[in-house]
Structure 1
Amino acid sequence: MKILFLACLRAHTGNCTTADRIKDHLEAAGHRCVLKDANSFASPAEVADLITEENFEVALAIHLYKGGRLLLGHGIPFGAIFGGTDINEDVKHEETFRAMGAVVEAARFLVAFTDKLKEMAEVHWPHARNKIHVQPQGIQTTPSADFDFKTFLQSAEIPLNLGSVHLFLLICGLRRVKDPLFLVNAFSEWHRKDPQVYMIIVGPTIDPVFTEEVHATIKRNKGVRLVQEMPREDLYAALKHCCAVVNSSISEGMSAALLEAMNLEVPVLARNIPGNAAVVKHEDTGMLFSDPEEFVLLSKRLMSDSALRETIVSKAKEYVKNWHSWERERETYQTLILQLQ
């Protein structure tokens, strides 16, 4: 089948990585899958023209509002994947909620990354219970063999003469829902007492106005750096040099960055929200914090307790192997797409 696949495709973001992986799954089954950036379409009419011009037979979308609504009214069979912010945030607004309800009605199948997301969706659309499938994100990580850690530190303006540098990486697109400034003040105060600890925020500009705020705040706080997005393979290599990967989001569907770190045997410290708690079990596969002060305390504990660190990374690696199988994800999407025939 010739498949139109709509997703938000800002380079080096979790959405883009997920979309590329699912596209690969579908093409491995012999389908032709064309990935398009949902943000490049102003209306469903533009998508209708594309469907006609390119003779697409079926469609798939990530994010019920940003992607799914563009597929309404064309008569093309489609499936949709909950992105996270759609079910966590967009349901709070009448206009977006109404559009998402229409997508739920029209979609042949829906995919949620976690049981919790499925439960949340069923609260809003109980009649759609049987068409919502749970498929956790499949994880593959291949670190670059050519990555130069010293060059990375230099790009982040971190002195190379400090001896042992303790890095914490926060990976996110710069937008308010990711809340990358949540920990900045507390971390900067910790850095003032221990100049060897640094937090690096890695990610692309999503919200230009908010990005200016991030730059201004970081400029006022020592010990925190911001670097642009980087190729996934280089990012995986950078993770291997870190004390921990951090997530401070207000809401999440399923953080690929956390799962990738867990697969690479790097500890994770995540804000205690439903999306993160679905994949991180406190003091078992990672650490969950509720406020900046707790984050600092848990970080210090991870640095000083090697036995705890080893236990966490071992259990996290096993969790990803058991629940986030790339092969199982491939099988699921190759099976679901046949419902559109």
Structure 2
Amino acid sequence: MRLLLLACLRAQTGNATTAGRIQDHLEAVGHICSLKDAFGYENPSEIANLISAEKFEAALAIHLYKGGRLLQGSRIPFGIIFGGTDINEDIKHEEKHRVMGAVLEEARFAVAFTEKMKELAAAEWVCLYDYYRIPQDTENLHLFLLICGLRRVKDPLYLVDVFSEWHRREPHIHLLIIGPAVSCFFCFRNCPNYAPFTSRAPGVHLLQEIPQDDLHAAVKRCFAVVNSSISEGMSAAILEAMDLDVPVLARNIPGNAAIIQHKDTGLLYTDPQEFVQLSKSLMNDPTLEREIVTKAKAYVKKHHSWDCEREAYQNLVLRLQ
């Protein structure tokens, strides 16, 4: 792969030394890694021209502001490596803080050299929250997972307040929301409705969309999958949870009630308070949990078989000939 590595290359600086080391690592496994001095470029347009001219396929930048800002709007995927002064100093300046947050939203990943640096960054930018930051070694941890595109009809904020209140009383309770912002109402930077995902809503975590394999791994690690939509056709997240042997708690709307039989293949709630009540009953009744999981798995196999669906569509298309 042809890689662009942007860094501040002043002699005898930590960033220059780190950049050289990373370049060696990547070239040792066969990548072509071109090291460029971030101070040599004024804006993202110049980097866009460089990427086009040298046919780079991906990029890395050391220092979230000095290097990362040059990759904004990049046509190739990129990752960020924190430099130190970006988190310790530049974060104090409002405009730099805004730019760095925007860069993180575009980056595929971010690398922190210390746990402390990681925590400082995650405290500032909600897009860095992930389920790995939730304490996995807590014996009685109960992680609820809401998977949805962040838009009005999915109502992702519906349970935030009650979850936060519940977490304050019982710190082992967490809600993780995973999904892309597909509506300007839920844009990351300028929407006050994202305030609940800051420290004012402890126990609630937000993660942007992740690859399907990682998402399935997260589902398997959670206690239950949650649906809070105002309207649904047929929720793929619910069906996947059923197939993965994870119980589902869904808002009692027609689309959800069409595939969930209450206390048989899942649990249906009508308001946040009932959600907490049903969740506690599920947590305290392992027999109910096993029965729901078993029946849900059988339901999916019978009514939503991938093989049957494939055959049906293949046969339908024959009618178009």
For the aligned pair, the TM-score class normalised by the smaller chain equals 0.5 to 0.7
Match of 1:218 among 160, 173, 197: 197
Stretches of structure 2 that go unaligned for 5 or more consecutive residues are 1-127
In the alignment, which residue of structure 1 is the partner of 2:172?
Answer: 196
Aligned to 1:261, the other structure's residue is in SS state: helix
Rg larger in 1 or in 2?
2
Aligned residue runs from structure 1 range 249-328, under 5 A: 249-328=229-308
Question: Aligned partners of 1:336, 1:318: CA distance in 2, in Å?
Answer: 26
Partner deviation per Cα, 1:167-211 (whole Å, 9 max, x = no partner): 000000000000011111111111011000000000011013324
Percent identical: 60
In the alignment, which residue of structure 1 is the partner of 2:154?
Answer: 178
Task: Determine if contact 1:153/1:160 at 8 Å carries over to the other structure.
Answer: no
Question: Aligned partners of 1:329, 1:264: CA distance in 2, in Å?
Answer: 18
Pairwise CA distance, 1:155 = 5.1
Large movers: runs of 4+ above 4 Å: 152-156
Match of 1:164 among 124, 140, 152: 140
- Distance 1:177-1:233 versus aligned 2 partners, 3 A rule: same
Partner deviation per Cα, 1:76-125 (whole Å, 9 max, x = no partner): xxxxxxxxxxxxxxxxxxxxxxxxxxxxxxxxxxxxxxxxxxxxxxxxxx
Task: Determine if contact 1:277/1:288 at 8 Å carries over to the other structure.
Answer: yes
Which one has more relative contact order, counting CA pairs under 8 Å at least 6 apart? 1
- Distance 1:186-1:208 versus aligned 2 partners, 3 A rule: same
Aligned to 1:266, the other structure's residue is in SS state: coil
- Distance 1:198-1:336 versus aligned 2 partners, 3 A rule: same
Stretches of structure 1 that go unaligned for 5 or more consecutive residues are 1-151
- Distance 1:237-1:280 versus aligned 2 partners, 3 A rule: same
Question: How does the TM-score come out when normalised to structure 2?
Answer: 0.57
Task: Determine if contact 2:131/2:176 at 8 Å carries over to the other structure.
Answer: no
Question: Aligned partners of 2:192, 2:239: CA distance in 1, in Å?
Answer: 28
Question: Aligned partners of 1:153, 1:165: CA distance in 2, in Å?
Answer: 17
Match of 1:208 among 184, 187, 190: 184
Aligned to 2:175, the other structure's residue is in SS state: strand
Pairwise CA distance, 1:335 = 1.3
Aligned to 1:270, the other structure's residue is in SS state: strand
Pairwise CA distance, 1:265 = 0.6
Aligned to 1:308, the other structure's residue is in SS state: helix
Question: Aligned partners of 1:309, 1:155: CA distance in 2, in Å?
Answer: 23
In the alignment, which residue of structure 2 is the partner of 1:88?
Answer: none
Pairwise CA distance, 1:163 = 3.8
Aligned to 1:199, the other structure's residue is in SS state: strand
Question: Aligned partners of 1:243, 1:155: CA distance in 2, in Å?
Answer: 13
Question: Aligned partners of 1:203, 1:241: CA distance in 2, in Å?
Answer: 17
- Distance 1:263-1:161 versus aligned 2 partners, 3 A rule: closer
Pairwise CA distance, 1:156 = 5.5
Pairwise CA distance, 1:165 = 1.7
Aligned to 1:309, the other structure's residue is in SS state: helix
Task: Determine if contact 2:130/2:205 at 8 Å carries over to the other structure.
Answer: no
Task: Determine if contact 2:129/2:206 at 8 Å carries over to the other structure.
Answer: no
CA RMSD of aligned residues (A): 1.7
In the alignment, which residue of structure 2 is the partner of 1:240?
Answer: 220
